[in-house]
């Protein structure tokens, strides 16, 4: 198969030779490779200015990320056989770590499958085709998933901003069977129902699972505040682990309706209260009321969606962590997280520590990140996005 060639400018291959998978639009030699000759999703051989093959990928001339390297073999063909090998490798990794089929089965660049995300909920799959190149392979992807795990239903969750940036239509479509309105997800001591079609992202935040589970043993006999609770996995898990009182806060009425239903389903309705509202406002009101908790969890959405928003986002992260610290009992624990890829771990750690200090002294107990079903591409910091810190916030001896 003779592929068209995407030529790079001089020296622009260095990052790619180190393993990165993205070619940006300003890195291409458009004199040798006029972008008008490519259609969105076209496969191409990516070549250095010295004529050295970098690998095979796909191109979208309308996107800031012009091309994504999929295979370093210049003879690779991105077809069904190629997909079967890669997706099989991704599935094997999950089966090593998880004894139940509930996980992110494919994590895009982390699994060397740029533009493809697959979440597995038992025999139901939620699939995102995030790029024009992966959209071109839609049927091949569906065929391989059907062959490997034989799902009864597949939902294509195509309502993400990433597709919009690629010039792709936004839609949620049924690709196979009849996906249920809700799926059940077992996690730790609990089992939770969540919506696939209308829930946030692909329906569940598998990436935070190890951080949620890690805090549960520390909740026995404690009052727990779960902010940005979504459907209540941490808060209800805390109640099942012996917490004496749990408050779940979220701005989404649908999420909180799931919290209430999930608490009833798990037999802890009497311990769990759901509160709707903006996190900052709710935290401020509770501080005025003198409410105190032994364990607080903050799991906000990404405040930094674009690099230029970083400065504003730093203020938002600082404020919500400072407000949360005012609600902690002396020696209380704060589990705080950021899923913003543009905020580096050291920045977030410093910011959180500053927000928690003042007339208190703070200890960092544990660092966390995304689970093994969200493998990190070591040459792509973009895939290492989730940061989680467990702090102990102590009363000052001078207070």
Residues with catalytic annotation? 339
What backbone phi and psi angles, to 5 degrees, belong to 143?
-65, -45
Alpha helices in the chain (DSSP H): 14-17, 80-97, 132-136, 138-149, 161-165, 209-215, 233-240, 253-265, 279-289, 310-325, 345-356
Strand ranges of the sheet holding 53-59, from the earlier edge strand across to the other edge: 5-7, 42-47, 53-59, 65-71, 22-24
What residues form DSSP beta bridges with 335?
Answer: 297, 390
Distance (Å, whole) CA 226 – CA 189:
17
Q: How far apart are CA 109 and CA 374, in angstroms?
A: 10
Give the max Cα distance, the chain.
Answer: 74
Q: How far apart are CA 234 and CA 202, in angstroms?
A: 18
> In angstroms, what is the C-alpha Rg of the chain?
23
Q: Of 169, 167, 170, 173, whose CA–CA distance to 159 is shortest?
A: 170
Return the sign of the alpha-carbon dihedral for residues 260, 265, 268, 270. positive
Tokens 């730093």 appear where? 314
DSSP classification of residue 192: E
How does DSSP assign 373-388, residue by residue?
Answer: TS---TT-GGG---EE
Which bin fits 267, alpha (ψ -120 to 50), beta or left (φ > 0)?
Answer: left
Backbone angles phi, psi at 73, to 5 degrees: -75, 115
Residue 323 vs residues 41, 192, 213, 230, 238: alpha-carbon distances, Å: 46, 29, 24, 19, 21
């Amino acid at each position: 198969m003779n592929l068209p060639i995407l030529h790079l400018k001089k020296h622009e291959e260095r990052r790619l030779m180190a393993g990165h998978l993205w070619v940006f639009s300003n890195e291409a030699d458009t004199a040798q490779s006029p972008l008008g000759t490519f259609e969105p999703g076209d496969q191409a051989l990516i070549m250095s200015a010295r004529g050295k093959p970098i690998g095979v990928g796909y191109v979208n001339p309308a996107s800031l990320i012009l091309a994504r390297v999929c295979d370093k073999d210049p003879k690779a063909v991105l077809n069904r056989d190629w997909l079967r090998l890669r997706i099989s490798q991704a599935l094997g990794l999950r089966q090593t770590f998880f004894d139940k089929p509930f996980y992110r089965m494919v994590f895009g660049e982390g699994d060397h499958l740029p533009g493809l995300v697959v979440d597995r909920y038992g025999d139901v799959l939620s699939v995102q085709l995030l790029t024009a190149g992966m959209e071109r392979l839609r049927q091949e992807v569906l065929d391989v998933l059907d062959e490997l795990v034989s799902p009864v239903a597949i939902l294509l969750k195509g309502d993400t901003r990433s597709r919009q940036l690629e010039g792709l239509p936004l839609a949620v479509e049924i690709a196979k069977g009849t996906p249920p309105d809700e799926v059940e997800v077992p996690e730790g001591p609990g089992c939770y129902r969540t919506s696939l079609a209308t829930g946030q992202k692909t329906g569940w935040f598998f990436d935070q699972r190890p951080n949620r589970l890690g805090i549960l043993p520390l909740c026995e006999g404690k009052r727990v505040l779960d902010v940005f609770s979504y459907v209540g996995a941490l808060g209800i898990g805390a109640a099942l682990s012996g917490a004496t009182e749990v408050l779940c806060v979220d701005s989404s009425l649908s999420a909180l309706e799931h919290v209430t239903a999930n608490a009833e389903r798990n037999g802890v309705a009497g311990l769990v209260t759901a509160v709707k509202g903006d996190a900052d406002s709710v935290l401020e009101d509770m501080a005025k009321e003198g409410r105190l908790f032994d364990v607080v969890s903050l799991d906000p959405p990404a405040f930094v969606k674009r690099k230029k928003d970083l400065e504003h986002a730093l203020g938002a992260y600082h404020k919500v962590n400072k407000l949360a610290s005012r609600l902690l009992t002396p020696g209380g624990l704060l589990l705080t997280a950021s899923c913003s890829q543009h905020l580096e771990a050291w920045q977030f750690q410093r910011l959180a520590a500053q927000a928690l200090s003042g007339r208190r002294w703070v200890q960092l107990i544990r660092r966390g990140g995304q689970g093994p079903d969200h493998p990190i591409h070591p040459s792509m910091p973009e895939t290492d996005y989730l940061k989680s810190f467990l702090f102990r916030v102590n009363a000052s001896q001078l207070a």
